[in-house]
Structures are given as C-alpha cells and as structure tokens.
A and B are shown apart, each in its own frame.
Chain A
Amino acid sequence: MNPLAVLWRRRADVFHIRMGGCSGCADAVDSVLRDGWRPGPLAECSSPRHASVIVVTGLWTPGLTGPALHVISQAPGSCRVILVGDCALGEGIFGGRGSTGREAPAGPARAVPLAGCPIDPAALREAVRRVAG
C-alpha cells in the first residue's frame, strides 16, 4: 500500500436519487457504487451537498418530481446530474403511467442521459467517470 497513492486518489462522490419503477436500474447503480472490497474511483455520499455527480433512477412521478428537484438544488453548482435508465428519461415500459414524462428531465440543469432497460453497469461507470472528470 502506497500512502501517497491513497492520499492522491481521485474519487467521484456520487449521490443516488432512487425514484419509482422496477428498481432494476437503481440496483445496478448501487452495485456499481458499492462494488468491490477495496475503495474504488466512485463513492456513494450521504448528502447532495457533497456530491460531484447525482445519479437519478426511476420514474419522475408527480409526487416525487418536486422533492427530487429540491434535493438536486441542494448540490453545489459544479455537480452534474445523470439520468440513468429509460424510466428516468420518460421512456421504457413505465413511460406515461403516472410519470411526468419528458418534462422532468428538463428540470435538472446540464443533465446527462444514459438510456437502457436495464442499464449496462460498465456504461454507467464510464459515464460517471466522464461526467465527474
């Protein structure tokens, strides 16, 4: 173990917002964030104020859209938002069933879409790394 390498390790702090749907994408996100025995380049954080990336999974339902956008507004200005999975993009098998559809994704500024049902964990890992810089 090289302590200087540990000290200079680059990590993206990711805050996960889990909304409605089958939770398949949310579980994939959790598996990526909590992957492995050793600390990885992605780390789940407990507050949106600490996040460099916010990942949103699931449907933007009328009841959840407002609170989710409020949570996103608590993040620092440099934080980026990734909408993960077809449901978060207003599409997929749940699209249009109680969802606010395509209106909600326009809310979070500079949101990056990542389509898929279910999503590819490798693509998610790559997207978070790319967005976090």
Chain B
Amino acid sequence: MAFVGKLANLVLFPGLLFIALTGLVARAILGGMSSVVTGASSEGPGSGMPGLLRLFADESVAADGALRAVQWIAPVVKLAALSWVTCIIFGYRGGDLALVFALLAISSAADVLVASCSSNPRVRQSCFAECARSAGWGIPLALVLATVALRTGQVSFAGVMGWQSSNGILIAPTSTGVLTEVGVALSLAAAALAALGIARLRPLSPGLFDDPPGGITADMSGPPLAMLRLSDAASLFTAALLLAALFFAGPASTVAEVAFWVMKVAGITLLMGLVDIVSPELGSPRALALALGAGGVLAVAGLILVWIGSAS
C-alpha cells in the first residue's frame, strides 16, 4: 500500500501530472505575455492542449540511425526526475540538497543524451549548447546549495524549509550580521540565474521549441515529442518552485499559507517570464560566459560572505 502511495505521489500529485499541467499553464501564460509584448513567435509543435493530444496520438517517425529508444526514454527520465524533485520539495519524499541537485542534473543530462545520440548533424550541433546550459546552471546552483546548507545548518530539503518556517525566509534580516545577509542576497541572484537556465529561458537558453531549425526537437515526433513538451513545461514550474523553496519557504499548514505559497511561485514564474521577454538570445558561448561569469561569481561571493558571517 505504501508503494502505491509513493507511486501516486510520483505520477499524480505532486509529481508528473501536477507539474506537467501546472507547467503547461505557466508556459501558456508566458507565451501569451511574450506575444503581447514582442509579437507572435515560434512556439513549436504541441503548444496548446489540442496540439499536445494530437502529438500523443500521432506516430513517432523513426530517425535514420538514431538511437530511437533514447528518444522515448529520455523525456520520461527527465519527467520522472523533475517529479521526484517536486515530491521532495512538497515533503512527500525525503531527500537532501545533493539529491535534488543530482535529479536536476539527470533531467538536463537527458537532453544532452538526446542531442548526442542523434544521427542528424543539425541536432548533434546542439550538443554543445545543451552541455553549456547544464554547466551554466549546474555550477552556480551547486554553490548556492552549499550556501543554503551553510546558512541554515541543514542538508535535507525538509530541514531547510523547516528552518525557514521557524526563523523566517532565508533573506530576512537576522542578527547574524550584514555579511551573511549580503551573501544570501548574492546567492539568491545566482539561484535566480540558475533557475532561468533550468527553465530554458533567455538570456541563458533559447526555449526548447523556439530554436528552429536545429535543436533536439528536430528529430522527434509523436509521443516522445509530446513528452518532451511536457517535461519542458514541468522544468519551468520546478525551477520556480525550487527558488521559492530555497529562499522564500514558509509554513503551509493553513489555506492562507498554501495560497501564500502559490502566490510566491506564481510571482517568481512571472518574473522569470519578464526576464525572458526583455533579454536577448545569446549564443551558447556567451550564455555560458554569462552564467559562469555572473552566476558563478555571485554564487562564490555569496558562499564566502556567508561562511565569513557564520564564522564570526
């Protein structure tokens, strides 16, 4: 029975179905905002629910020489990893910060795998971009997680959120000194940049479906493409949720507190969408330089300041 419960968490709530549907709504809102501000842009196949259902019903055209199994498995692995992350954040599964990082890395590695296994040279070209994106969010986020662990003294996700429930959100002023507060603020900026990378938003990454004619979607069709669309939507929601949980967590025992959580995640999602709209689309080397240059430096500075603040 416990196993069925775990499976239901992973597949229904707060796992796969929940993050996919929430992510699709978030992507639709951001797409609408983008079209209002910058005009119609390519949204790729399956952008609306009817299109997505059509993709699920459609055939998957075999790619010449490509590892077709990878096309089917990679989006599922990505979705499962993101589902696990949300289960940990919602408190349905135990897990430490390192596990969350590893699951997010697996979700990114799935995209790298699809790009590297393709026989299509235009898809393989995007392998560097996928690796750059993974490194771009991965290194700053690892440092941010170290900062959060150092600041709270907790390594489990539940511990970090519990600490914030007791002591207030992470960036709230405390008696530990200004160095710690500045360090946490710098880490928040680095984490925001990493969240943009996870969610595939500009300036760190062009969207998965607005990068014609290359990109890992070019080879895919039918259900694998639909699952990739779902995983792309899920990554947006997961990134916003992760940011809220790391820096703005609070209790969620009453309806008002849950509504407060919803507003936090929605606000972060909208802010990320606004950054995406006003940002230029950078090439992979420049995006990597920005992610590691700005995000990495901010994260390192934040870690050092929190370390000094904690030691003093």
Q: Considering the chains assembled together, what is the distance between the CA atoms of A76 and B25 in angstroms?
A: 27
Q: How far is the CB of A88 from chain B (nearest CB, A)?
A: 22
Chain A interface main SS type: loop
Contacts of A78 in B (CB 8 A): 54, 57-59
Contacts of B257 in A (CB 8 A): none
Q: Do the beta carbons of A50 and B48 come within 8 Å of each other?
A: no
Contacts of A40 in B (CB 8 A): 40
**Is B116 in the interface zone, CB < 8 Å from A?**
no
Contacts of A46 in B (CB 8 A): 42, 44, 212-213, 218
Q: Considering the chains assembled together, what is the distance between the CA atoms of A95 and B6 in angstroms?
A: 66
Q: Do the beta carbons of B48 and A10 come within 8 Å of each other?
A: yes
Given the known interface contacts A39-B35, A44-B42, A46-B42, the answer about A6 and B29 at a Cβ–Cβ threshold of 8 Å is: yes
Given the known interface contacts A8-B49, A38-B35, A38-B40, the answer about A49 and B25 at a Cβ–Cβ threshold of 8 Å is: no
Q: How many A-B residue pairs have CB under 8 A?
A: 88
Q: Mark A21-63, 1 if CB is under 8 A from B, else 0.
A: 0000000000000001111100111110110100000000000
Nearest residue (CB) in B for A44 is B42
Chain B, 3-36, CB within 8 A of any chain A CB: 24-25, 28-29, 31-33, 35-36
Q: Do the beta carbons of A1 and B42 come within 8 Å of each other?
A: no
Contacts of B51 in A (CB 8 A): 10-11, 13
Q: How far is the CB of A129 from chain B (nearest CB, A)?
A: 13
Q: Considering the chains assembled together, what is the distance between the CA atoms of A128 and B47 in angstroms?
A: 18
Contacts of B32 in A (CB 8 A): 1, 3, 6
Q: How far is the CB of B212 from chain A (nearest CB, A)?
A: 3
Q: How far is the CB of B210 from chain A (nearest CB, A)?
A: 10
Q: How far is the CB of B48 from chain A (nearest CB, A)?
A: 4
Q: Do the beta carbons of A49 and B40 come within 8 Å of each other?
A: no
Q: Do the beta carbons of B31 and A50 come within 8 Å of each other?
A: no
Q: Do the beta carbons of A37 and B39 come within 8 Å of each other?
A: yes
Q: Do the beta carbons of A8 and B48 come within 8 Å of each other?
A: yes
**Is B236 in the interface zone, CB < 8 Å from A?**
no
**Is B111 in the interface zone, CB < 8 Å from A?**
no
Q: Do the beta carbons of B49 and A13 come within 8 Å of each other?
A: no
Q: Do the beta carbons of A49 and B47 come within 8 Å of each other?
A: no
Chain B, 282-304, CB within 8 A of any chain A CB: none
A38, A44, A47: which has the most chain B beta carbons within 10 Å?
A47
**Is B221 in the interface zone, CB < 8 Å from A?**
yes
Q: Do the beta carbons of A9 and B40 come within 8 Å of each other?
A: no
Q: How far is the CB of A67 from chain B (nearest CB, A)?
A: 14
Q: How far is the CB of A51 from chain B (nearest CB, A)?
A: 8
Contacts of A11 in B (CB 8 A): 47-48, 50-51
Q: Do the beta carbons of B49 and A7 come within 8 Å of each other?
A: yes
Q: Do the beta carbons of A77 and B31 come within 8 Å of each other?
A: no
Contacts of B50 in A (CB 8 A): 8-11
Please pick, from A1, A37, A43, A47, the residue contacting B213 in the complex, using a CB distance under 8 A.
A47
Contacts of B221 in A (CB 8 A): 47, 49-50, 76
Q: Do the beta carbons of B54 and A52 come within 8 Å of each other?
A: yes
Q: Do the beta carbons of B48 and A77 come within 8 Å of each other?
A: no
Given the known interface contacts A3-B32, A47-B213, A50-B221, the answer about A39 and B49 at a Cβ–Cβ threshold of 8 Å is: no
Contacts of B219 in A (CB 8 A): 47, 49
Contacts of B61 in A (CB 8 A): 49, 74-76
Contacts of A49 in B (CB 8 A): 61, 218-221, 225
What 5 new A-B contacts, CB under 8 Å, besides A7-B24, A10-B51, A49-B218? A6-B28, A8-B50, A39-B35, A50-B45, A78-B59
